[in-house]
Amino acid sequence: MAKEILQKHDAEFAGRPIPDAVTAEKGYELAFPWLPTGRQWRKLRKIFNSHIFMAQKLDSLRHLRHDVVKTMVERVVEAQECGKAIYIGGIVFSTMMKLLSKMLFSADMLDPASDAMKELQVLNANIMVLVAKPNLADYFPFLRPFDPQGIRRKIRVSYDRLHELIDNMIDQRMKRRRATSERSGDLLDVLLDYTEHEEPDGLTRLDVKLLIVEIFIAGTDTSTSTVEWVMAELLHNPTILSKTKQELSEIITPGGIVQEQDIARLPYLTAVIKETMRMHQTSPLLLPHQAEQDVEIQGYTIPKHTRIWVNAWSISRDATYWEKPTCFMPERFLNVDIDFRGNDFRFTPFSAGRRICPGMNLAVRIVALIVVNLVKTFDWKLPNGMAPEDMDMTENFGVTLRKAEPLVAIPVRITT
């Protein structure tokens, strides 16, 4: 059925219902995830593909990813020397924020330890939690004006503050652009160049701000959650962690940061990441689709405007498609052609069809780079003498599947 919705009838189900919580964001109807697949959506998709997530563009920014991962490793070393435990999600979030701010603004937007970084993490989490919260206004439209659960009121505070932070960055850049013809060549400059184009190719300042907000929200939250789950599964399964380390010791030269180009030579590590994405689907319910017209599927008529949810979490744990689906078995991804690019509908962590996640190529690269360096550089111990089998692996469902009990572990640097 997922294949019918996401591939065979992709165009008919390309609509996107807008959750009531999202309407609290100024300009929400112009935000990329919620736009109908018309001219504006295609224009923004082209910008994503040409200037942000195209393979050649990502290759040219490889040095940025290596720099932020190197900084992350140095921060973990400092914590290790002080005997501190590490909150994995926190350090990955700040690493992703550093990477995205360098891509967008050619600078570190925030000190990882600053109050502003902590505020951004809270804002991001608030938005993701409130958007995912069951909302009566989504099912009984007559309740929308009343915001019966106060969700729209609560989320507006986070959206407004996030917009304020991005507005400040745009103001600083526009002031500099007026003072000099010199350009940074980063994404913000590319987007601001589009504001100087005439319609239909141009962008407004609001378009630019909404794109940046979406990149920060989607780019930090999903990758952070995925890395945290990978590390949790490795610590929960010591035998699999040993196999991963064995592969690294056989293939990677000791010392220094593992390079992105080395990851293609690490099939077992890649299988570990894929198996994590299967067991802990980043978006358990893919963002909803909506029928653009009456559609007949398998003898049933789906009326126009019907909302469709694809339960990717359930599919990825269905014994019809997976042997021992509740067991963490990376070997299932070895020597088989199962990818996550929307071609195999048993496994769609980034969705599929025209609504597939545009940031997939960046997410895959940075998740693997972070994981391989955390595993290669450090041994990890659970705090307070906890045994692996005693770890709490409970999932917290939302737009992003979070670990209910945040992963905290003690790094021990490996000496060579």
Selection from 324, 368, 394 nearest residue 231 by Cα: 368
* C-alpha span between 36 and 56 (Å, rounded): 28
Q: Are 269 and 247 in contact (CB under 8 A)?
A: yes
In one letter, which amino acid is 42?
A: R
Q: Mean pLDDT across the stretch 265-288?
A: 94
Kindly report the pTM of this predicted structure: 0.92
CB within 8 Å of 160: residues ≥ 6 apart: 26
DSSP label at residue 36: -
Q: How many other β-carbons are positioned within 10 Å of the β-carbon of residue 5?
A: 23
Sign, Cα dihedral of 15, 127, 341, 50: positive
Q: Which phi and psi (to 5°) does residue 308 adopt? A: -125, 125
357 annotated to a ligand binding site: yes
* 150-161: average pLDDT: 95
CB-based burial of residue 337 (10 Å sphere; 0-12 exposed, 13-18 middle, 19+ buried)? exposed
User: Over 60: is that where the pLDDT of 236 sits?
Assistant: yes
Mean pLDDT (whole number) for 354-366: 92
Structural tokens at position 114:
């600053």
Q: If you average pLDDT over every residue of the chain, what do you get?
A: 90
Look at the chain and report how many structural domains it folds into: 1
Confidence of residue 111 (pLDDT cuts 50, 70, 90): low
Contact 391, 241 (CB under 8 A): no
CATH of the domain at 145: 1.10.630.10
The model's pLDDT over 176-218, given as tens digits with 9 standing for 90+, comes to 888 888 787 889 999 999 998 877 778 999 999 999 999 988 8
251's enclosing H/E stretch is: helix 238-251
The predicted-structure confidence for 21-67, as pLDDT tens digits, reads as follows 999 999 999 999 999 999 999 999 999 888 888 889 899 999 999 99
pLDDT exceeds 60 at position 112: no
Q: Which pLDDT band holds residue 109 (cuts at 50, 70, 90)?
A: low
On whether the CB atoms of residues 321 and 314 are closer than 8 A, the answer is: no
- The number of helices, as runs of H, and strands, as runs of E, in the chain is 14, 9
Give residue 201's Cα distance to chain centre.
Answer: 28
Quote the percentage of the chain above a pLDDT of 70: 97
Torsion sign across C-alpha atoms 281, 287, 288, 293: negative
pLDDT tens-digit readout, 290-325: 999 999 998 889 999 999 989 999 999 999 999 999
**Side-chain half-sphere exposure of 374, counting CA atoms within 13 A:** 31
Mean pLDDT (whole number) for 78-91: 91
* pLDDT tens per residue, range 113-152: 556 667 877 888 889 889 988 999 999 999 999 999 999 9
Angle (CA) 178 30 193, round 5°: 25
Residue whose structure tokens are 């050649």: 56
Q: Where are the beta strands (DSSP E) in 331-376?
A: none
pLDDT at 110 over 80: no
Cβ–Cβ < 8 Å for 187, 208: no
CA distances from 106 to 48, 202, 364 (A): 18, 23, 22
Burial group, residue 136, by CB count within 10 angstroms (0-12, 13-18, 19+): middle
Average pLDDT over residues 97-113: 77
Give Cβ neighbours of residue 235 (< 8 Å, ≥ 6 apart). 241, 380, 382, 388, 391, 407, 409
Q: Would you state the structure tokens that stand for residue 278, as one six-digit string?
A: 């299967």
Full domain range(s) for residue 72: 2-413
> ω into residue 388 within 30 of 0, thus cis?
no
Angle at 340 between CA 338 and CA 341, to 5 degrees: 110
pLDDT at 387 over 80: yes
What's the length of the chain? 416
Q: What confidence score (pLDDT) does residue 8 get? A: 83
Token look-up 């195999």 returns: 344
Q: Helix or strand or coil: residue 292?
A: coil
pLDDT at 416 over 70: no
3-state secondary structure of 405: coil
By C-alpha distance, which of 396, 416, 414 is closest to 405? 396
- What pLDDT is stored for residue 169 in this prediction? 86
- The pLDDT of residue 108: 65
Q: What pLDDT, on the 0 to 100 scale, is given for residue 85?
A: 92
Q: Cα separation of 377 and 373, whole Å? A: 6
**Who contacts 238 (Cβ-Cβ below 8 Å, separation ≥6)?**
388
